[in-house]
Amino acid sequence: MSRKLPPLNWLRAFEASARSQSFTRAAAELNLTQAAISKQVKLLELHLREPLFIRNPRSLELTKTGEAYLPKVRDCFDRLAAGTNEVFGRRRSEMLTIRCMVGFSINWLAPRLPRFMARHPGLTVRIISSVWGDEFDREQFDFDIRYGIGKWPGQKARRLTWETITPVCSPALLQGEKPIRNPEDLADHPLLHVLGYEEGWGLWLNAAGVGGDIDKGRGLHFDTSLIAFEVAAKGAGVALGRSCMTEEDLLSGRLVAPFDLALPIDQAFYLITPSDNTPHPDAGLFHDWLIEEAELARTAGDAA
């Protein structure tokens, strides 16, 4: 069935003229002459057999028919632009870009990235680190890895970690003048806190049965786990380690966990994607690989 649609250039001339209320301004916008715009709008009116403008001496005014037709034309252009961007959009030529909290990117993501690059050697990826969970800019990033309980309005969240928390410190603190042997011994050492975590020292100390004996807020407070772990490794305090963040340091012996109590918590790291954006053509490869790594880490944690 043939569609008797007006030519696209007539519709563009009409929309630009209606928006600017001037053939002259529409001509400048579309890089045409005023006479060409006027002619195209006139041909459209003849095609539709209805006047679209009242032509005043110094301006244009839409007729009732023009007012009714303009939203339909704009919707047509919006849909065409969206469809064109979906198939041929600028993201197809850009790098796949992931924003990730700095501690997670170093302690969890970085040790695993070589496996991704070995699987997809020709793919280019950009990792942008962040400290605080600012609003997700969907124009700049394809994915965001954030910490929370999995609820971000307008965005899809896929859980990556299943966390436990337990104190970690330098092996040197297990010996010396004030050795750490029992949870009560934490009273003799500075506690290292990381801002932004809702589940922290108070939760663990209460579970260990010493919540009433130790000041939960004392010690040093940092904005990233990286600083807290560095200070702990130097023997200057005890950090509260999240299992996904301390794996490498515990394996290397740089940090030790002096107690058996690893307390499960509700917060976790999530892979965030906006629910209404056009995905990068390589987004699926990274998404599937990351979920696979998360499941492997979870299985390994359950086995341990």
Q: Does one domain contain both 141 and 171?
A: no
Q: Quick check: is 2 in a domain?
A: no
Residues with Cβ < 8 Å from 288, sequence gap 6 or more? none
Tell me: do 211 and 283 sit in the same domain.
no
Task: State the Rg of the chain over Cα.
Answer: 30
The residue written with tokens 């904005």 in the block is 223
For residues 38 and 155, state if they share a domain: no
CATH code, domain carrying 61 = 1.10.10.10
Condensed to tens digits (0 to 9), the pLDDT of residues 27-56 reads 999 989 999 999 999 999 999 999 999 999
Residue 204: closest CA among 227, 174, 234, 183: 183
Domain boundary among 87, 120, 144: 87
For 254, phi then psi, to 5°, come to -65, -35
Domain count, the chain: 3
CATH number, position 177 = 3.40.190.10
**113 and 77 in one domain?**
no
Task: For residue 278, give its domain range.
Answer: 94-160+267-303
Whether 210 is covered by a domain: the verdict is: yes
Taking phi over 0 as left and psi of -120 to 50 as alpha, with beta for the rest, 222 belongs to beta
**Is position 1 within any domain?**
no
Task: Tell me the pairing of strands 53-55 and 60-62.
Answer: antiparallel
Region class of 151: left (phi > 0), else alpha (psi between -120 and 50), else beta: beta
Cα(18)–Cα(65) distance, integer angstroms: 12
pTM for the whole structure: 0.67
In this model, does residue 122 exceed pLDDT 90?
no
Same-domain pairing of 192 and 245: yes
- Fill in the amino acid letter for 154: G
What pLDDT shows up at residue 5? 83
**Which among 186, 139, 188 has a CA at the least distance from the CA of 166?**
186
Domain co-membership, 145 together with 75: no
Does 152 share its domain with 280?
A: yes
pLDDT value for 137 = 65
Average pLDDT across the chain, whole number: 88
Degrees (nearest 5) of the Cα angle 64, 68, 25? 80
How far is Cα 62 from Cα 260, in angstroms, rounded to an integer? 76
Q: pLDDT at position 195, please?
A: 85
Q: What is the pLDDT of residues 155-207, one digit of tens each?
A: 889 999 998 999 999 999 999 889 999 999 999 999 999 987 878 899 999 99
Residues 230-257: b if buried by 16+ CB within 10 A, e if exposed: bbbbeebbbbbbbbbbbbebeeeebbbb
Q: Which of 87, 110, 132 is the last residue of a domain?
A: 87
Phi, psi of 281 (to 5 degrees): -60, -25
Task: Give residue for tokens 């928006």.
Answer: 19
Name residue 53's beta-bridge partners.
62
66-92 residue pLDDT tens: 999 999 999 998 888 877 766 665 554
Helix axes 23-30, 8-20, angle to 10 degrees: 120
- What is the rounded CA–CA span in Å between residue 239 and residue 10? 68
Consecutive H or E run containing 162: none
